[in-house]
């Protein structure tokens, strides 16, 4: 099935800020972390936070230690003061857009103006806003409330202001505020609907003109998510409201050839991606079985790491050519076997993360755990045997890499050193996996073949080694960027989690620039085969891929994973094309 995703689906700025504030507090606080009320309206995210020890306070306690975080919706000022008096460290994660509405109400309440809040009664944000308007505030949710207000105009003080809950429907706000102004003079309107909310609603209306089915992903108690569904229905779409991919009605969706997907402001990216993956695997109307079959084959190649291992084997073959070494099929099988084994073995240490990034893949690993472990062990043994034929030094190098590859996720650092180095395994070093993966790839594709024919690596080998190290580092770090939300939630210390997604992308673009320069300069300096010039389109492809993702033109999922893993296949194809052209 073809899927069209709304550009602004997923966490809004305020929700992201609240979640990141909580995660940062978890990382630094050792006396406990709690939120006053549910942090956001998404049960899956709340479950993850609960797993990490975050408690939810529904009432203000008499005494509290540690940190208490005020949720994104905000609270009445009286509750905030009570929280501060409990002895806890109070961190305010109220959305800045909500804070702006609070400030407007506070200002005009001080001037004795009444306040009409157009929003959902009993919604957390509205209750917080009413705390700034009391006793001069009133909530209007629908036309009936406006009629009641007209009958009893004494209940609202004039002059008055009209503000909106930040996640209200734009059209409903305009309609209700105009009705109020027409019947009760002296009002001043402030359209306080969040810009992100407005854009989401407009995107749903636009998508509604292109599709007949709309899947809205988000918490059932999320007002802005429900509102997106209402707008989609008003556009004539068949709407499917789901929290997770398990709630998708596969039979009903199979009647459509294309579906739109949008999500509420509290819906994490990984949750949206899971829904999209499932939708893309559903045979759409009139599609037959070929497209779903190809999609499943693509997914299988990625899930088993066969595709990336194929790329690794071809890269080892190509690196031999770049070093001036006669390529042998052993180079391919050594690279393929080592990468296949290490990727599969280490995937099992990331099962908790995989559960959220791709639960289907996580279930696949659990179901076929034994066959994959056996296949990985056999390919590693085969790689070691073939390496021994290249030379003893190459063998011991690969054996040492395999040992440390397995050791990466094991607690081997003594506990008594924990106060000094803060970690008990290599995996816990922030951003370490990306570097160690790149280092391992560089050794197995360059140094292992080189030691089979020369005593010490020469300048060409070192140049190719650095090139592969930087190339695979970018590839691995981009995958970390794609998974940054779920990695933060489960506590994984990747580079994007450590320094931020935007800074990571800037850093990677600098490395891509260095890769481009290396391919131009090193062949001219005689430090790399002139065949390297043919790799320039592959680096341009990588740059475009990252830019398309950054601009929202590509979304995370199997397709994007396939595009990125295809980098090595493209690299090998360009190398063989260059050899044929030069040979002719």
Report, as residue numbers or ranges, the catalytic residues: 125
Cα 285 from Cα 24, distance rounded (Å)? 46
CB atoms within 10 A of CB 545: 19
Give all strands of the β-sheet with 2-5 in edge-to-edge order.
2-5, 258-263, 213-217, 238-242
What is the residue-wise DSSP string for 287-309?
-TTHHHHHHHHHHHHHHTTHHHH
SS3 230: helix
Please identify which residue in the block is written with the tokens 């599969």.
344
By the 8 A CB rule, do 446 and 465 touch? Answer: yes
Cα 162 from Cα 138, distance rounded (Å)? 10
Cα 541 from Cα 547, distance rounded (Å)? 10
| Nearest in space to 468 (alpha carbons), one of 309, 573, 319, 308 | 319
CA distances from 575 to 170, 478, 503 (A): 55, 24, 32
CA distances from 363 to 292, 332, 342, 406 (A): 20, 30, 19, 22
What residue spans of 351-409 are helical by DSSP H?
351-357, 359-367, 369-390, 392-407
Quote the tokens at residue 559: 């397709």
What residue spans of 235-305 are helical by DSSP H?
250-253, 269-280, 290-303
Buried b (16+ CB within 10 A) or exposed e, 479-501: bbbbbbbbbbbbbbbbbbbeeeb
Burial of 43 (0-12, 13-18, 19+ CB in 10 A): middle
Cα 331 from Cα 328, distance rounded (Å)? 6
Quote the tokens at residue 240: 């499917």
């Amino acid at each position: 099935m073809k899927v069209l995703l709304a550009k602004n689906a997923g966490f809004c700025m305020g929700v992201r800020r609240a979640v990141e504030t909580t995660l940062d507090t978890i990382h630094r606080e050792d006396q406990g972390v709690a939120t006053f009320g549910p942090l956001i309206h998404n049960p899956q995210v709340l479950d993850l936070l609960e797993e990490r020890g975050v408690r939810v306070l529904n009432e203000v306690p008499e005494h509290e230690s540690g940190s208490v975080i005020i949720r994104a919706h905000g609270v009445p000022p009286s509750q905030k003061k009570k929280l501060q008096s409990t002895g806890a460290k109070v961190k305010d994660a109220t959305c800045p857009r909500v804070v702006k509405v609070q400030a407007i109400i506070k200002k005009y309440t001080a001037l004795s103006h009444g306040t009409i809040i157009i929003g959902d009664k009993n919604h957390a944000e509205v209750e917080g806003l009413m705390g700034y308007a009391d006793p001069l505030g009133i909530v209007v949710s629908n036309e009936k409330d406006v009629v009641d207000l007209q009958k009893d105009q004494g209940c609202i003080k004039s002059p008055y202001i009209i503000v909106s809950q930040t996640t209200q429907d734009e059209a409903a706000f305009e309609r209700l505020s105009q009705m109020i102004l027409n019947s009760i003079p002296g009002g001043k309107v402030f359209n306080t609907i969040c810009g992100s909310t407005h854009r989401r609603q407009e995107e749903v209306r636009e998508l509604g003109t292109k599709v007949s089915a709309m899947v809205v992903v988000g918490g059932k108690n999320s007002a802005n998510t429900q509102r997106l569904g209402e707008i989609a229905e008003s556009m004539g779409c068949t709407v499917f409201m789901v929290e997770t991919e398990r709630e998708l009605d596969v039979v009903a969706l199979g009647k459509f050839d294309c579906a739109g997907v949008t999500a509420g402001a509290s819906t994490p990216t990984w949750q949206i991606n899971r829904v999209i993956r499932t939708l893309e695997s559903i045979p759409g109307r009139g599609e037959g079985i070929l497209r779903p079959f190809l999609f499943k084959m693509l997914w299988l190649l990625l899930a088993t790491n066969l595709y990336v291992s194929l790329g690794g084997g071809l890269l080892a073959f190509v690196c031999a050519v770049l070093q001036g070494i006669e390529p042998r099929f052993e180079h391919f099988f050594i690279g393929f076997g080592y990468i296949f084994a290490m990727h599969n073995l280490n995937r099992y240490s990331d099962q908790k993360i995989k559960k959220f990034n791709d639960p289907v893949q996580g279930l696949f690993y659990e179901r076929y755990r034994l066959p994959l472990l056996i296949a990985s062990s056999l390919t590693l043994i085969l790689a070691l045997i073939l390496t021994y034929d290249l030379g003893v030094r190459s063998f011991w190098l690969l054996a040492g890499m395999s040992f440390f590859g397995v050791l990466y996720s094991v607690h081997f650092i003594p506990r008594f050193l924990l106060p000094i180095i803060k970690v008990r395994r290599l995996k816990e070093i922030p951003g370490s996996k990306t570097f160690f993966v790149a280092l391992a790839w560089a050794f197995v594709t360059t140094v292992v073949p080189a030691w089979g024919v020369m005593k010490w690596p020469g300048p060409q080998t070192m140049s190719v080694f650095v090139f592969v190290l930087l190339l695979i580092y970018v590839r691995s770090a981009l995958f970390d960027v794609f998974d940054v939300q779920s990695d933060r939630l489960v506590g994984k210390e990747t580079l994007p989690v450590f320094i931020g997604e935007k800074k990571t992308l800037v850093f990677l673009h600098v490395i891509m620039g260095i890769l481009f320069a290396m391919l131009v300069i090193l062949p001219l300096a005689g430090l790399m085969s002139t065949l390297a010039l043919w790799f320039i389109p592959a680096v341009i492809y990588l740059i475009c891929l990252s830019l398309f993702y950054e601009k929202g033109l590509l979304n995370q999922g199997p397709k994007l994973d396939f595009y990125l893993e295809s980098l090595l296949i493209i690299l090998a194809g360009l190398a063989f094309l260059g050899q044929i052209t030069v040979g002719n």
